[in-house]
């Protein structure tokens, strides 16, 4: 198995040459005061060293050892506590946090690159900083000034970690039926009682305190999702001077035995009248939770890219070294018993497919992060509103498409290894197991597809889609005279027209057929994702093609050739997807329950 190395060259290309992130940052005053190109480059360089040198070497051992539960206490795999200290001492926990409370205030476009490195190096470990960052985001956006001052500095510093407590044994997607209760104590605090499951890093030994953000219902709350509130419930109470007080009445009842990410603690959390404080308004807990969901769901998509990148690195190295059979065109290395398997078209198909999804996905995640930065930091109301619409539309695509293709890439990497990919020592089977969860948590990918098709596209009568459509159409029109881009713009325009036609078709169907949205949603998300990555590859060709001729490094010329593969072999999948969507819901809904 290849030692993971952060893909800094490609990250710099995406940030600086494709999206010109420094210009974006300079246009956002709140960002510009915290970051410049030199600072960003230094952050990338150091992040690469820490993730490759500290986190990646713990990945396999963390998987084999797992976390251990003993009478409510959870111990982490060997080396995790020390690695956590390295992360927090470097300020990485608060990289994107509010500077007012000790965060570094870095833009998401930059933070996303660090997140990818961390998730590729060690996904199980990377979930801890990821969950803390999400909890901080929700608290910063909705908490009272008192709560923010009391908790955020230690969460940004990593002295305390964060956890998000949503799911219950009977309530996953349908949070409106949660049973956890919060009773007012009369002093501004609440007693929270209930059981939560699947709580990532809900208990562990790496931080001094764990701050839980818990969804619960007040006694007279309305039924359904409109009756959910959010509460901050710390593992240890915090005194007025900031010191830790007594243990709160919450505990970890057990750890889940799971398929992957075994180095992370997935907890059953019991709250037995635990003392907590309201975050945001009563019965507005879902709104508070969804503040961080756009960031977290992009973060999960980035996990998919990270796992795929790790798979690609290992498979590429193996394909260059493993010798089996001869090339179809004749011996390439006649002095050896066989040729490297890289000479075989099918191995190249797998590697180039992985490359297409990884590098296209990296560009797409940065594209979404760009809109998140504008929506959060712009002083221009119109610009900010436009960005908010793009974030709403693109977030489910980023979460679901990138994780679906991430698992595909992990499986293809395993296939490149053949039998060795099925064996534990090479690391490929762990990547497959770890990546699988990304399609499930933070809202399953089927739910993401329903959100995209039903809420965002049909629900807005296509208005949110038009924001993306205008962006793609403008790029095609502005670059129509570029000879380097012309071979790519025609198939991109065709795929884009296909997507637009299908969008209009489903919106019309949905008016008369209640099953239309659900029947189309998953295929529609895939069609959208393939087209969006085609757009990203066209943008990368625009940046790379002028530098490809005479490129001795192979970076720019390889980028252009990889784009050609994407447009020749992957983008055409949109044709079949569009036909499937147009077929409607009839055959899908025709069978009776007995006929299954």
Ordered per-residue pLDDT tens for the chain, 596 residues: 679 999 999 999 999 999 999 999 999 999 999 999 999 999 999 999 999 999 999 999 999 999 999 999 999 999 999 999 999 999 999 999 999 999 999 999 999 999 999 999 999 999 999 999 999 999 999 999 999 999 999 999 999 999 999 999 998 788 888 999 999 999 999 999 999 999 999 999 999 999 999 999 999 999 998 999 999 999 999 999 999 999 999 999 999 999 999 999 999 999 999 999 999 999 999 888 888 777 889 999 999 999 999 999 999 999 999 999 999 999 999 999 999 999 999 999 999 999 999 999 999 999 999 999 999 999 999 999 999 999 999 999 999 999 999 999 999 999 999 999 999 999 999 999 999 999 999 999 999 999 999 999 999 999 999 999 999 999 999 999 999 999 999 999 999 999 999 999 999 999 999 999 999 999 999 999 999 999 999 999 999 999 999 889 999 999 999 999 999 999 999 999 999 999 999 999 999 999 99
- Provide the CB-side half-sphere exposure for 62 (13 A, CA): 27
Identify whether the C-beta of residue 229 lies closer than 8 Å to the C-beta of residue 215.
yes
Q: Would you give the distance in Å from CA 192 to the centre of its chain? A: 30
How high is the pLDDT of residue 1?
62
- Provide the CB-side half-sphere exposure for 470 (13 A, CA): 10
Q: What SS3 class is residue 345?
A: helix
User: Which residue of the set 442, 470, 478, 549 is catalytic?
Assistant: 442
Question: Which residue, 422, 415, 431, 426, is CA-closest to 303?
Answer: 431
CA distance 303 to 407: 10
Written as six digits, the tokens of 105 are 């205030």
Beta strands in 185-315 (DSSP E): 190-200, 209-216, 229-234, 236-238, 244-247, 250-255, 266-279
Q: Which residues contact 197 (CB under 8 A, 6 or more apart)?
A: 167, 168, 169, 256, 268, 269
- Residue 8: CB atoms within 10 A of its CB come to 17
How high is the pLDDT of residue 138?
95
Whether 281 sits among the annotated catalytic residues: the reply is no
pTM of the predicted protein model: 0.97
Beta strands in 248-306 (DSSP E): 250-255, 266-279
Q: Which residues contact 14 (CB under 8 A, 6 or more apart)?
A: 362, 363, 366, 540
Identify whether the C-beta of residue 285 lies closer than 8 Å to the C-beta of residue 300.
no
How high is the pLDDT of residue 172?
77
Written as six digits, the tokens of 207 are 């931080």
Q: Would you give the distance in Å from CA 565 to the centre of its chain? A: 25
Phi then psi dihedrals of residue 193, to 5 deg: -135, 130
How high is the pLDDT of residue 174?
81
How high is the pLDDT of residue 406?
98
């Amino acid at each position: 198995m290849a030692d993971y190395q952060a893909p800094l060259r490609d990250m710099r290309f995406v940030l600086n040459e494709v999206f010109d992130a420094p210009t974006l940052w300079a246009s956002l005053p709140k960002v510009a005061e915290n970051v410049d190109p030199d600072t960003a480059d230094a952050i990338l360089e150091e992040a690469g060293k820490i993730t490759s040198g500290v986190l990646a070497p713990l990945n396999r051992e963390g998987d084999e050892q797992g976390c251990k539960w003993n009478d409510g206490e959870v111990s982490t795999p060997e080396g995790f506590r020390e690695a956590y200290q390295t992360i927090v001492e470097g300020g990485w926990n608060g990289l994107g946090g509010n500077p007012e409370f000790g965060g570094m205030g870095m833009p998401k476009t930059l933070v996303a690159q660090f997140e990818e490195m961390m998730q590729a190096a060690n996904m199980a470990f990377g979930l801890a900083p990821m969950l803390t960052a999400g909890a901080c985001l929700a608290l910063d956006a909705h908490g009272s000034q008192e709560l923010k001052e009391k908790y955020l500095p230690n969460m940004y510093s990593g002295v305390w970690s964060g956890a998000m407590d949503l799911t219950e044994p009977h309530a996953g997607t349908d949070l409106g039926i949660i049973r956890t209760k919060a009773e007012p104590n009369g002093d501004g605090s609440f007693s929270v009682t209930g059981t939560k499951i699947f709580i990532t890093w809900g208990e562990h030994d790496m931080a001094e305190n764990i701050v839980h953000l818990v969804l619960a219902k007040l006694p007279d709350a309305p039924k359904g999702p409109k009756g959910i509130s959010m509460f901050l419930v710390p593992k240890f109470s915090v005194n007025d001077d900031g010191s830790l007080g007594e243990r709160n009445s919450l505990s970890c009842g057990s750890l889940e035995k799971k398929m992957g990410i075994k180095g992370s603690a997935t907890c059953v959390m019991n709250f037995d009248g635990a003392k907590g404080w309201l975050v945001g308004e009563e019965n507005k807990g879902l709104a508070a939770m969804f503040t961080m969901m756009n960031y977290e769901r992009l973060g999960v998509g980035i996990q998919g890219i990270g796992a795929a990148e790790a798979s690609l690195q290992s498979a590429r190295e193996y394909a260059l070294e493993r010798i089996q059979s001869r090339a179809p065109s004749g011996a390439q290395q006649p002095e050896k018993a066989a040729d490297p398997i890289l000479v075989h078209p099918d191995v190249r198909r797998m590697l180039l497919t992985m490359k297409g999804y990884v590098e296209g996905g990296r560009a797409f995640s940065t594209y979404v992060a760009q809109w998140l930065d504008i929506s959060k930091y712009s002083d221009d109301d119109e610009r900010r509103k436009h960005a908010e619409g793009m974030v709403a539309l693109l977030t489910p695509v980023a979460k679901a498409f990138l994780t679906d293709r991430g698992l595909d890439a992990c499986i293809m990497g395993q296939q490149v290894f053949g039998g060795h990919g099925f064996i534990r020592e090479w690391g490929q089977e762990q990547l497959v197991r770890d990546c699988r969860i990304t399609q499930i948590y933070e809202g399953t990918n089927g739910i993401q597809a329903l959100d995209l098709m039903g809420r965002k596209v049909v629900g807005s009568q296509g208005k949110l889609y038009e924001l993306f459509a205008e962006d793609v159409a403008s790029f095609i029109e502005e670059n129509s005279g570029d000879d380097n881009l012309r071979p790519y713009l025609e198939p991109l325009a065709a795929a884009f027209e296909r997507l637009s036609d299908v969008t209009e078709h489903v919106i019309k169907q949905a008016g008369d057929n209640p099953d239309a949205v659900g029947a189309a949603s998953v295929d529609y998300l895939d069609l959208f994702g393939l087209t969006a990555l085609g757009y990203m590859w066209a943008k990368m060709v625009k940046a790379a093609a002028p530098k490809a001729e005479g490129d001795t490094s192979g970076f720019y010329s390889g980028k252009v050739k990889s784009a050609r593969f994407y447009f020749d072999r992957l983008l055409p999948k949109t044709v079949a997807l569009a036909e499937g969507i147009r077929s409607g819901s009839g055959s899908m809904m025709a069978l009776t329950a007995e006929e299954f």
